[in-house]
Structure 1
């Protein structure tokens, strides 16, 4: 089945519900594979109107459009190992929110994350990694330290802590995103994905139920063509 997802969600809550419904279909083994046909390809060739920005790990088992049963033009995806955040990531998120008008930003973590495992090894054993892999580990290490300080010992606890820290980090560092959340036009949620089951669960959220305020100059701009 290759039907079109009905409507574009106008609120953060609607966007999250649409995303979670797609994941439920994927988990149940009943995906619809929406918006993946030639018509959708033609419709999105000149402009894009995604409904969510998704910051996820680069792990090959975490393909966003598959695990959320979405199609072309539905998600604005940013992926780095361990969903590590740098200026390019923040700029990409701001583009999705301020220019494309996405009402939802998702930080997606997962179990068996290699970046978290490497950061834990670095903290516990003093191991290092060559090249820019070390930079990824250093960006994840503050989450590992915070989890250890809180007495966390289980893998899920480290993953959840890192997801929460990433949500806090993008809001702390991006004034544009924080303003969008404060106005109720955008929300940021943290989800954790389980590789074996294919399911996601909510870890944290910011701004899901904030009343929507007046549009900002950026938010009212027409959705831009692909970068």
Structure 2
């Protein structure tokens, strides 16, 4: 499946989710058994760890369809980059989505600033360039979207595997924004 087919499939699944008519059928014993032989997810989703954001549900998918990385603020750090590289290099996945969401607490922490302890401070440091670019007074939604774009830029900057797959293998990177209130995912801003 190429990147455009994968993106279309995500959009179709999201439309079913938003309309309340999900059809994902690969959540049963047969699907689990088939997946013991391997995986071939059609998209990689770098998403926030927020409990209100569930990419499998938002895109109406089942087991084995998405390669999902969840970390507060959907940041591209060493661990998420390495995991994404694995999927690109070994699973042949052609689409990466960096998906922020409405009311992201990690972005809110970056905007608020202050000392949140060494671990959260490190996480927030990955989001800070988006706050700095737009300013603390910018609408939080705009900063969340910029953070999704920044994660894409970081993936391209920090990974030769991803960069080469874009250049030579048809890999595409797209930003996304999930609305908690509607369930709709906006792509590419």
CA displacement, residues 199-226 of structure 1 (integer Å, 9 cap, x when unaligned)? 000134xxxxxxxxxxxxxxxxxxxxxx
The CA distance in 2 between the partners of 1:93 and 1:43, in whole Å, is: 23
Choose the corresponding residue for 1:72, options 55, 63, 84: 63
CA displacement, residues 53-109 of structure 1 (integer Å, 9 cap, x when unaligned)? 111110111111111100010011111110122211111001111101101111010
Q: What RMSD, in angstroms, separates the aligned Cα atoms of the two structures?
A: 1.3
CA displacement, residues 149-199 of structure 1 (integer Å, 9 cap, x when unaligned)? 9xx621221111111111111111111101111124211110000001000
Residue-pair matches, total? 189
Task: Extract unaligned runs of 5+ from structure 1.
Answer: 1-9, 205-227
SS of corresponding position for 2:176? strand
The CA distance in 1 between the partners of 2:71 and 2:174, in whole Å, is: 17
Aligned: 1:134 with 2:156 = no
SS of corresponding position for 1:132? helix
Asked if the contact 1:160–1:203 (Cα under 8 Å) also holds between the matched residues in 2, the reply is no
Aligned: 1:176 with 2:161 = yes
Please, which moves more after superposition, 184-193 or 66-75? 184-193
Aligned: 1:42 with 2:27 = no
Choose the corresponding residue for 1:121, options 112, 116, 126: 112
5 Å-filtered alignment, 1:197-208, equals 197-204=182-189
Aligned: 1:163 with 2:166 = no
SS of corresponding position for 2:147? helix
The CA distance in 2 between the partners of 1:178 and 1:113, in whole Å, is: 28
CA displacement, residues 112-168 of structure 1 (integer Å, 9 cap, x when unaligned)? 00011000000xxxx21024111111111111101119xx62122111111111111
The answer to which structure, 1 or 2, has the higher relative contact order (CA under 8 A, 6+ apart) is 2
5 Å-filtered alignment, 1:44-59, equals 44-59=35-50
Query: Counterpart in 2 of 1:191?
Result: 176
Query: Counterpart in 1 of 2:84?
Result: 93
Dislocated runs of 4+, deviation >6 Å? none
Aligned: 1:145 with 2:136 = no
SS of corresponding position for 1:13? helix
Output the TM-score relative to the length of structure 2.
0.96
